[in-house]
Amino acid sequence: MSTTSTNLTDLTSQIQGAVLLPGSPEYTQAQQGYHTPRSALAPAYIVQPAAHTDIPPALAFAAAHAPALEVAVKGGGVHSGTWASTAGGVLIDLARLRSVTLAPDRESVRVQGGARWGDVYDVGRKEGFEVVGAPLWDVGVGGSMVGGASGNLSGRYGLGTDNMLSATVVLADGRIVEASEEKEADLFWGIRGGGGQFGIVVEFVLRVLPPSGPQTAGSFVYPGSAHREVFKAVQEFHASATVDEKATLFFTRPAPDYEPTLIVAPWISAKSARATDDILRPFRTTAVPKTEKIITVPDQFTASHLSDATRALAPPRLTIRGVPLSQPWPEIMLGVWARWYKFTEENSDGRGSTVVWDVRNTGRIAEVDVGETAYVPREPHLPVAIQGRNTLPETDEAVSKFVASLANYMHSENTALLGRDLGIMVSIAQGDEPVEVVFGQNVGRLRKVKAKYDPERVWKRGVVVEPNSE
């Protein structure tokens, strides 16, 4: 690191980017630039690096204080926890590091850590390539990649993590290293599913994939009274789905009537060998929709924006937890429905809370051994996310308790039915879960990686293991 001074002038003179202080309009904009206000704390300093080399002086500045200032890192700012913020510390905001550059040989693409998936998909549609990433455009590449990055293409190609070729990482001691299978292999293993606890990934090199062609999307809408039929349709779909087909089920209460409603949003790749009508039949016959809208979209970029209008109407305060389920168990679906129905019926400010079931063929995800990367949920599963939403701050506690209770219910029931624990996906954890549950059999190696690259636990936001070199 290039400075041991707590003098702000020394820091600003060493970087190309900016240091934002409380009271300035730029600070306010950056401090509030999160998907939910529940994620925003009040850092003492916000550093917006314009180059990778701006980050080591910022780390040295934080470390020079007595005691050292906490450091947090913000990429897309979508996670519903406070992992990407800090109260009174130094926030390193990667908002100025968003470039996406296709390699001359068109085999890979370089993506800076502050980019969002929409940035990548936009370049992809113009240049004629795809990558595996999150299904929503506004999700940050950095945070999702170190947590796995599951998306529409994951059944065929694996996680985004599985398609990472290398990465540039700023370590806690200020060194900037390249991590790959050949260089800093332990670090490369850890950042592929172990979360952001080993350093700041300022650039990813991702595998480029050929365009999959037009995609079928849309929605089927059902009244809450049809939930049993919808669950059966979902189970039929799951039993026959290939890696090129998925469906997302929502429990929701849309305005203005706020009646319990189920929405199924299918996604079908042009690579699917099955006829669209055959794929969608369970959602038309086993359960008969109130309304149906099926469309064709040209690319990932367009698909990533399909829910924009709906999400814009959602209550702003958000907390998310989720679990992987080994299958859409009928008893778990009914139990979740009953609990969600009761909570949203009795809590008017929390009735915007939803449960989102990502029903798919795990495909390539399950073909990678658990120990090959730090990402643990490898055997066949469907991710389920509980999105607790509300408008009033005074409702936060009740919503948080509901979300935690429902996540614990699903996790324990799936473990009992399956006979083993599938763990918890780090990307939709909240940080209070036992690391042994989140990282499973990989926790021992993760502790060694932590001891090697961050023995002082500079990175301590999120799900973080204790360093142990033994």
Can you tell me the mean pLDDT for 391-419? 98
- Lowest mean pLDDT segment, chosen from 78-82, 95-99, 273-277, 382-386: 78-82
Q: What is the mean pLDDT of the chain?
A: 96
pLDDT by residue (tens digit) across 33-66? 888 999 999 999 999 999 999 999 999 999 999 9
Q: How confident is the model at residue 257 (pLDDT cuts 50, 70, 90)?
A: very high
Q: How confident is the model at residue 2 (pLDDT cuts 50, 70, 90)?
A: very low
Can you tell me the mean pLDDT for 201-210? 98
Residue 243 and residue 315 in contact, taking contact as beta carbons nearer than 8 Å: no
Q: How confident is the model at residue 4 (pLDDT cuts 50, 70, 90)?
A: low
Can you tell me the mean pLDDT for 289-311? 97
Residue 25 and residue 46 in contact, taking contact as beta carbons nearer than 8 Å: no
Can you tell me the mean pLDDT for 368-388? 96
Q: Can you tell me the distance from the alpha carbon of 302 to that of 157, in angstroms, rounded to the nearest whole number?
A: 20
Task: Output helix, strand, coil percentages for the chain, rounded to the nearest 5.
Answer: 35, 20, 40
Q: Can you tell me the distance from the alpha carbon of 26 to that of 122, in angstroms, rounded to the nearest whole number?
A: 27
Query: Position 90: which residue type?
Result: V
DSSP state, 180?
S
Structural Rg of the chain based on CA atoms: 22
So what's the pLDDT on residue 470?
A: 78
Residue 215 and residue 270 in contact, taking contact as beta carbons nearer than 8 Å: yes
Q: Can you tell me the distance from the alpha carbon of 188 to that of 420, in angstroms, rounded to the nearest whole number?
A: 28
pTM of the model: 0.96
Q: How confident is the model at residue 6 (pLDDT cuts 50, 70, 90)?
A: confident
Q: How confident is the model at residue 7 (pLDDT cuts 50, 70, 90)?
A: confident
So what's the pLDDT on residue 1?
A: 46
So what's the pLDDT on residue 101?
A: 98
Beta bridge partners of 245: 268
DSSP for 25-79 reads HHHHHHHT-SSSGGG----SEEEE-SSGGGHHHHHHHHHHSSSPPPEEEESS---
Can you tell me the mean pLDDT for 119-132? 98
Which domains does the chain possess?
A: 8-96 (3.30.43.10), 100-211 (3.30.465.10), 215-428 (3.40.462.20)
Helix H segments across 294-360?
Answer: 300-303, 308-312, 330-346
Q: How confident is the model at residue 5 (pLDDT cuts 50, 70, 90)?
A: low
Structure tokens at 205: 């090199």
Contacts of 328 (CB under 8 A, 6+ apart): 231, 234, 235, 238, 357, 359, 382
So what's the pLDDT on residue 362?
A: 97
So what's the pLDDT on residue 267?
A: 98
pLDDT by residue (tens digit) across 151-187? 999 999 999 999 999 999 999 999 999 999 999 999 9
